[in-house]
A and B are shown apart, each in its own frame.
Chain A
């Protein structure tokens, strides 16, 4: 799957299917500080992401 990350904006390729929480754990991202979006729709932590999905991992923390 293609995973779009922010801060800085970049794309990475992750091989194979896994659930949202597994993906965040592998990327060492805290679930409390991120949302995962598939095709414009939010998906919960146990949602299965397929190998051909395009995913956005959006940070939600702001420091201002």
Chain B
């Protein structure tokens, strides 16, 4: 038997959300999520109904959910998927993304990193001897920016949620990295060859986004990226969830109060830190160097034989990855 009732309609609940001290049925969970996205968009002037929007989609719950919500709310949004070459994980992620777009008649563009740029994330990690998330993030940022500008999009939407942002804030605050703290805002305005970027899920948790997908019948990549297993970002999320469990609402207060109270204080630092950009001599993208970081990475790693995923994982991550494949 299910005892708890929806806070709105008093029908049987499907989820408890301790941070709201309330339970919700499917219909009112969806309503809550839509309203939180509308509030984020309105509070931070993220999007207008006339904007041509490019959604960065990965096949995971957050990017598919944000695309779904935006379409529901009446926005015009296309998707871009980047095939990172992370073995079976990337293949399955692409399948979920295609399935989602095809079922809704949405426009999806795909880029294959190895096919079009001559490398993949595991190989880049091996050759550069850096953590895989470094080459992955750099490649995605560059290619989403480039595709948005080339395609005449007004804005790039990413599926970063409240947990993602709180974890990044936690990491930056642990180091008191003022430069990164000053840049942490859910809207990056267009400037100097960079498109506008926004995070409409900034007020919603990962648990709420997974629930959105389940209620809406959206199949997504549930497995964790094998390259991310054991990374610091996950450790920060675990720490924040341990606090959240003891004190519901802490995560939202930590991040959303930072945005309301601290980000305005740091805004001047952010303005002072920008500027001094020129065009990359290879691709024309804005950069502080002669050649941009993406072109330097591509030059260094393209042409190398593909490196299997398991060869670039930490011992702990490899164990988890191989156990997941049996």
The answer to whether A and B assemble together is yes
Known: A35-B207, A60-B210. A6 touches B222 (CB 8 A): yes
Interface bits A1-37 vs B (CB < 8 Å: 1, else 0): 0000011110000000000000000000011111101
Residues of B within 8 A of A39 (CB): none
Chain A contributes a number of interface residues (CB within 8 A of B) equal to 26
Interface check B34, CB cutoff 8 A: no
Task: Verify A60–B228 contact, CB threshold 8 A.
Answer: no
**Which A residue's beta carbon lies closest to that of B161?**
A62
Known: A41-B14, A45-B16. A30 touches B242 (CB 8 A): yes
Residues of B within 8 A of A30 (CB): 238, 241-242, 245
What CA separation (Å) do A58 and B234 show in the bound complex? 16
In B190-214, which residues have CB < 8 Å from any A CB?
Answer: 205-207, 209-211, 214
What CA separation (Å) do A41 and B110 show in the bound complex? 32
Interface check A54, CB cutoff 8 A: no
Residues of A within 8 A of B2 (CB): 43-44, 46-48
Which secondary structure dominates where chain B touches chain A? helix
Task: Verify A47–B3 contact, CB threshold 8 A.
Answer: yes
**Which B residue's beta carbon lies closest to that of A9?**
B324
Task: Verify B324–A60 contact, CB threshold 8 A.
Answer: no
Interface check B271, CB cutoff 8 A: no
Interface check A42, CB cutoff 8 A: yes
**Which A residue's beta carbon lies closest to that of B235?**
A63
Residues of A within 8 A of B26 (CB): 42
**Of listed A42, A44, A45, residue having the most chain B CB within 10 A:** A44
What CA separation (Å) do A42 and B238 show in the bound complex? 22
Residues of A within 8 A of B323 (CB): 8
What CA separation (Å) do A58 and B133 show in the bound complex? 24
Residues of A within 8 A of B207 (CB): 32-35, 60
- What distance in Å separates the Cβ of A24 from its nearest Cβ neighbour in chain B? 10
Task: Verify B15–A62 contact, CB threshold 8 A.
Answer: no
Task: Verify A7–B224 contact, CB threshold 8 A.
Answer: yes
- What distance in Å separates the Cβ of B86 from its nearest Cβ neighbour in chain A? 10
Task: Verify A46–B4 contact, CB threshold 8 A.
Answer: yes
Residues of B within 8 A of A48 (CB): 1-3
Task: Verify B211–A35 contact, CB threshold 8 A.
Answer: yes
Among listed B42-50, B55-63, B307-315, interface-contacting one: B55-63
Task: Verify A62–B16 contact, CB threshold 8 A.
Answer: no
**Which B residue's beta carbon lies closest to that of A10?**
B323
Task: Verify A35–B241 contact, CB threshold 8 A.
Answer: no
- What distance in Å separates the Cβ of A20 from its nearest Cβ neighbour in chain B? 9
Known: A7-B224, A35-B210. A44 touches B320 (CB 8 A): no
Residues of B within 8 A of A32 (CB): 18, 205, 207, 241, 244-245
Residues of A within 8 A of B324 (CB): 7-9
Interface check B231, CB cutoff 8 A: yes
What CA separation (Å) do A63 and B221 show in the bound complex? 13
Interface residues of A (CB under 8 A from B): 6-9, 30-35, 37, 41-48, 58-64
**Residue contacts A-B, CB under 8 angstroms, 20 given:** A6-B223, A7-B320, A7-B324, A8-B323, A32-B207, A32-B244, A34-B207, A35-B15, A35-B210, A42-B214, A43-B14, A44-B2, A44-B14, A44-B15, A58-B214, A60-B210, A61-B234, A63-B224, A63-B233, A63-B237
Interface residues of B (CB under 8 A from A): 1-4, 13-16, 18, 23, 26, 58, 60-62, 133, 136, 163, 205-207, 209-211, 214-215, 222-225, 228-229, 231, 233-234, 237-238, 241-242, 244-245, 320, 323-324, 326
